[in-house]
Homo-oligomer: A and B are copies of this chain.
Amino acid sequence: MTDITLIEAAARRMQGHVRRTPLLNAPLLDRVAGRRIFVKAENLQITGSFKARGGWAAVSALDPQARARGVIAYSSGNHAQGVAHAAACHDAPCVILMPADAPQVKIDNTRAYGAEVVLYDRGTQDRDAIGARLAEARGLTLIRPYDDGQVIAGQGTVGLEIAAQAAEAGVTTAEVLVCCGGGGLSSGTALALAAHAPGLRVRTCEPEGFDDMARSLISGKRERNAAVSGSICDAILTPSPGELTFPILSRLAGPGAVVTDDQALYAMALAFTHLRIVLEPGGAVALAAALFGADLPDTVIAVASGGNVAPETFAKALRRFA
């Protein structure tokens, strides 16, 4: 069960290994938005997304024997890189299970971090069965992307930093907009803020059509999305809220926000112009909500969760909105 003690312990284990990302702002961005916006730039995190935190927290929490046997994760994206990086730094073997049709650059990058990439055919093979077989044969520990207490604790260190950085900036009351897939980052951040900055409230942000968390927060039970793909915000598309993350958010988060793909692209363009940072579409959803949300206070903090984006997608955002 993730609580503030677990988050603070994860922060101690990360020190010197995971980056304390800056809380950025820009006078001209505030003018465009009509409110004061701070951006927690997790795109500047060591692997380009907050997932380096959860990966580090999970790998570093293993007992030495389990760590020496290694870890396994299912991911073609940011979670894969976060886990692979953490494992490499701990000299732990790491297997990443990826669909064979994943973009070559993602496969290459995950290998470059030192992981063994095992490919499977999405159409004919059962990922979970392959993973379970590998894990059993080699004694690997599975690291889930969000439904894992240590992973949530790791992502929660974002909230510890926001609490400290907001206080330094003189901000004691604000809404904290968080890009939300399964809810690991949102729930961990919510726990940390509840303990250290009770005037800061988390609100989850999702792409249109994939607003399972927003709907679940209304209905009080875990809703599912109709589709599994079809938004440009690929990094944060999950079928439904996590089993561990949802109860936390149900207790601590405000209503969920929803943005369109075009709003995410527009936020990427503004982040380029005014903050000089690179965001991926899924990582720009919270900034998009900060720009377009109707029911927001004068000061908001948007977590920019990642910046691993194909050059063509980034160029498209610039062409259309910069």
Contact = CB atoms under 8 A, between A and B. Distances in A.
A318 interface: yes
Contacts of A43: 276
B44 A275 contact: yes
Interface string A248-281: 0000000000000000000001001111111100
Interface in A35-59: 41, 43-44, 46, 48
A22 B19 CA distance: 9
A75 interface: no
Contact of A22 (B26, B31, B44, B275): B44
A263 B307 CA distance: 23
A31 B272 CA distance: 26
Contact of A276 (B22, B31, B113, B277): B277
A85 B31 CA distance: 14
A276 B109 CA distance: 15
Complex copy number for this chain: 2
Interface in A1-59: 19, 21-22, 24, 26-28, 31, 41, 43-44, 46, 48
A318 B308 contact: no
A44 B304 CA distance: 14
A65 to B, nearest CB: 27
Given A31-B112, A276-B44, A277-B277, A311 B307 contact: no
A18 to B, nearest CB: 13
Nearest to A23: B19
A109 B29 CA distance: 11
A315 interface: yes
A246 interface: no
A308 B27 contact: no
A41 B276 CA distance: 10
A109 B28 contact: yes
Given A22-B21, A22-B44, A277-B278, A112 B28 contact: yes
Contacts of A278: 272, 276-278
12 contacts: A22-B22, A26-B46, A26-B48, A27-B112, A28-B112, A43-B276, A44-B276, A44-B277, A269-B311, A278-B278, A311-B322, A315-B318
Interface of A: 19, 21-22, 24, 26-28, 31, 41, 43-44, 46, 48, 85, 109, 112-113, 269, 272-279, 307-308, 311, 314-315, 318-319, 322
Shortest 4 CB-CB distances between A and B: which pairs?
A: A276-B307, A311-B322, A276-B278, A311-B318
